[in-house]
A and B are shown apart, each in its own frame.
Chain A
Amino acid sequence: MSPMARTAPVPAATDPAIIRNFCIIAHIDHGKSTLADRMLQLTGVVEQRDMKAQYLDRMDIERERGITIKSQAVRLPWELDGVSYALNMIDTPGHVDFTYEVSRSLAACEGAILLVDAAQGIEAQTLANLYLAMENDLTIIPVLNKIDLPAAQPEKYAAELANLIGGNPEDVLLVSGKTGVGVEALLDKIVRDLPSPVGDANAPARAMIFDSVYDTYRGVVTYVRVVDGHLSPRERIQMMSTRASHELLEIGVSSPEPTPSKGLGVGEVGYLITGVKDVRQSKVGDTVTNLAKPAAASLSGYADAKPMVFSGLYPLDGADYPVLRDALEKLMLNDAALIYEPETSAALGFGFRVGFLGLLHLEITRERLEREYNLSLISTAPNVEYEVTLEDKNVVHVTNPSEYPVGKIAAVREPMVSATILAPNEFVGAIMELCQSRRGVMGGMDYLSEDRVEIRYRLPLAEIVFDFFDILKSRTRGYGSLDWKADGDQVADLVKVDIMLQGEQVDAFSAITHRDKAYAYGVMMTGKLRELIPRQQFEVPIQAAIGSRIIARESIRAIRKDVLAKCYGGDITRKRKLLEKQKEGKKRMKMVGRVEVPQEAFIAALSSDESKDKAKK
């Protein structure tokens, strides 16, 4: 067993031979961050007294939800057979919305720990992330975690894992991130089995940007992995895509707090600070080189994260629009996956159409905006991007149902995904039924082991982004897992359903749906609104329509009584307080024409019933 390293290799002067770069990848919740905690402790970079669970999940929202959203890289010293090594560990998120974070992290590593919960076995993101790691030619170390759990089945899942990646079940390491069992052996194995980075120390520098984060105090902090050459403090560097040059104000490693160094050499992972204020000037996937001695060719970068789901974000109080604009601008500094543009809604006023990676990304962004910028927001029904070809051959891309062209449409294409679902084989029937009802076409099915299957479907993205996963979970009693990735588009028979209150179209409630589902949407939305909108001083008809054809209708009867009359014995203060409360309530209303619609009604009407409090996991 190895002791904690007595001397840590010094950044900028570390022989690549003693460097090991790896990331921890897994399905959501299989324990990556907890395992990372034990590594921080065992290597001594975090003192016992400073330790807290999921140490690297630093954002409030990560801590509250108990999930990782951003990858974190940390340099750890580790000694084996008398040699001190420098390990760069990257903890990655497990949720499918953040898969792009995983792919970036993989590009900074030679190896990956494929972590599998010993009580759950292989799940959809295990496969997806393993696939990404293999694509990047990484050496995989299979590890079963949570072996302390009574429900753990290490033999069964070791066999499953070995079967998946080739090798012997005995080679699968057994650890517990909770108790620390097996973690030292894992660190030793990382040193032994993972290749050290190779690069040309004398060549012009080439460093790959794998993350870029805006920090209020320090400006943009850029995380890089040096491939060739050397970067030193105070030198001028150049971004190879834009040719923009900056002075390196600070360079260092995270261990896990930022620690300035004399530079970074071949194979090292660390951070740069140049004083730029916008993450887009320091783009993920770009290559950093020396301005004085620039490299000839850049490293191959990554594809930009592509937003898949769009939603309108509107301040409840129109006066907050500038606050929302500034807030989005700031969030975007930190989240290159976020895109937005201003839009106006007849019902909601001025807001933004924002593109997200998925519903969790939407939810988190919205929550951060509300919390960190003290905003009250309404988000419109999320939708995907459609490509509409008009009869005059013009093509429009529609991310907002209210912009859906009227009439004269030649064809509509909708984005597709290929989805992988893993579940015990007893649920195959239920899963097929679900996918079929979502217009899916089956691609194939494989047995991972005797009783677990992998089912592949091609489905319209619009059918899976919202409540699909929750329904999948409930139909498989929690055992099903899902992974998906974009897979082109297809022509589809789509229509726009409008919702009208008192004859006035409420663009926020319009939806683009498959023709077969339009009626169901109309009935559902008009019914919901009837429940959600309080009675007004006049009758409010609610209608759903395709073009001018009404497909569903409801009506809210006029309120007849809104007066409190009792002899209060002179307690007028109470009456006034009551009025103030009523007026406060009114402030939380949005006017749609003359109809007062409570904020809650927008939120409730626009969130799907079955997925209201979930969507997180």
Chain B
Amino acid sequence: MPSTLPLGEPAPADGRLPPSAVAGSRDRAFGLYVHIPFCAVRCGYCDFNTYTAAELGGGASQASYALTVERELEFAGGALAQSGIAQRALSTVFFGGGTPTLLPSQDLSRVLQTAKNVWGLEPGAEVTTEANPDSVTPESLAELARAGFTRVSFGMQSAVPHVLAVLDRTHAPERVPLAVEWARAAGLKVSLDLIYGTPGEELSDWESSLEAALTLEPDHLSAYALIIEDGTALARRIRRGEVPMVDDDDHADKYEIAENMLRGAGMSWYEVSNWARTGEDQCRHNLAYWKGHDWWGAGPGAHSHMGGTRWWNVKHPAAYAQRLDTGASPAAGREILDETARYVEDVLLRSRLAEGYLVAGLQPEGRHAVAGLIADGLIEPADAFKGVVRLSGRGRLLADAVVRRLLPN
């Protein structure tokens, strides 16, 4: 079951943004997120806004989906221009889901082309798509590369069959090396997503998965602790006692294992759950979220951010298509952040990055908390002396607690 949208104020039908969002837009980087809300099957742990063909009752919306999204991109171009937001070329584009590669490559390429038509791409722009290992072929990947994609992020999750089974993953582990090879051959950079802490996963299972991932020498790797989301099939199975509850200490052990093995393999963390081989390989689109840059999120349930205004689209693909059919904004609601909320988000998001948060940017409560955080081993002392709050290994595992200590009550 997809998770719910936040509550906010109504968003205007013409997509117009408030003056606060316009101010300073010229100097901010701009990205595009395109949501593809389709999956072949729904994984038991997943609460993303995605639907199987059966859930949608026919493939019609899937076939016409690219067209609908293109309409939103055109609408976006108009709305931004009308609001007086600076016209900027895209620095990053990210197709996420769902399973973007469930759509034909031509569809993804068309959408990317439309985005180029509306805004243009910066030279060296990063263009990523997420992909399930069993939803790509050598041809489809080559086609994407030709269209301008530069990166592919595979949902590998694990290399261990019994773990993949609990996660309801359909791909065979052997599929992953193939998919990576094809992507490389097409000239795409490769990222792998792993999940740890799945019920029944032993420490050695996790080590095997990391091992398997590292053998493939990915440019980038995300390792997420499994979150048991309300309303998912996995949550129900745990409640019924069919599989054991996941354990925070187990998560901590596995995070430490990941950090050690990834560091050993020459990768460095740049965000709590993300590691890259070089600075170049960091996912710039991902960083844009943490740094509070501007992006337009297209597709049902997609979130956007523009200079302190956040909004989100209606969730269901049918409702979404309907809005665009009538020429109205697909936004379901929005939130214009005040000074306080902007500060809270800034600390909340940036402090999770390896580049850290400038002590000078903290309000007094935050500055006063720094010494205690050093004493508790939660931030790196040497960086703190240089004026940067940077999470230590232990601090990354307790990042939410660190953030609470940095922020006023």
Q: A: which residues have CB within 8 A of B?
A: 537-538, 559-577, 579, 582-583, 586-587
Contact = CB atoms under 8 A, between A and B. Distances in A.
A579 B248 contact: no
25 contacts: A560-B397, A561-B248, A562-B401, A564-B227, A565-B273, A566-B224, A566-B273, A569-B48, A569-B96, A569-B297, A570-B297, A570-B303, A570-B304, A570-B305, A572-B289, A572-B305, A572-B310, A573-B6, A573-B335, A575-B348, A576-B341, A576-B348, A579-B348, A582-B400, A587-B409
Given A562-B397, A579-B348, A587-B409, 12 more contacts: A562-B399, A562-B400, A563-B399, A570-B297, A570-B304, A570-B305, A573-B310, A573-B312, A576-B345, A583-B404, A583-B409, A586-B409
Contacts, number: 104
Nearest to A578: B400
A519 B356 CA distance: 50
Identify the 3 closest CB pairs spanning chains A and B, nearest first: A560-B252, A565-B273, A563-B399
Contacts of B127: none
B202 to A, nearest CB: 18
B344 interface: yes
Given A560-B397, A576-B345, A577-B6, A571 B409 contact: no
Interface in B244-276: 248-249, 251-252, 255, 272-273
Given A560-B397, A563-B399, A571 B305 contact: no
A577 B399 CA distance: 16
B317 to A, nearest CB: 15
B8 A573 contact: yes
Given A561-B251, A563-B272, A586-B409, A537 B376 contact: yes
Given A561-B397, A563-B272, A571 B248 contact: no
Contacts of B349: 572, 575
Interface string B367-407: 00000000010100000000000000010111111011001
A276 B349 CA distance: 61
A586 B400 CA distance: 12
Given A569-B35, A573-B312, A560 B249 contact: yes
Nearest to B395: A563
B31 to A, nearest CB: 10
Interface string B1-22: 0000010100000000000000
A567 B302 contact: no
A567 B398 CA distance: 17
A566 B249 CA distance: 18
B278 interface: no
Contacts of A562: 397-401
A571 B96 CA distance: 13
B225 A561 contact: yes
B303 A572 contact: yes
Nearest to B378: A537
Interface string B343-365: 01100110010000000000000
B222 interface: yes
A556 B51 CA distance: 43
Nearest to B341: A576
B64 interface: no
Nearest to B195: A566
A135 to B, nearest CB: 58
A521 B406 CA distance: 39
Given A560-B252, A562-B401, A586-B404, A572 B272 contact: no
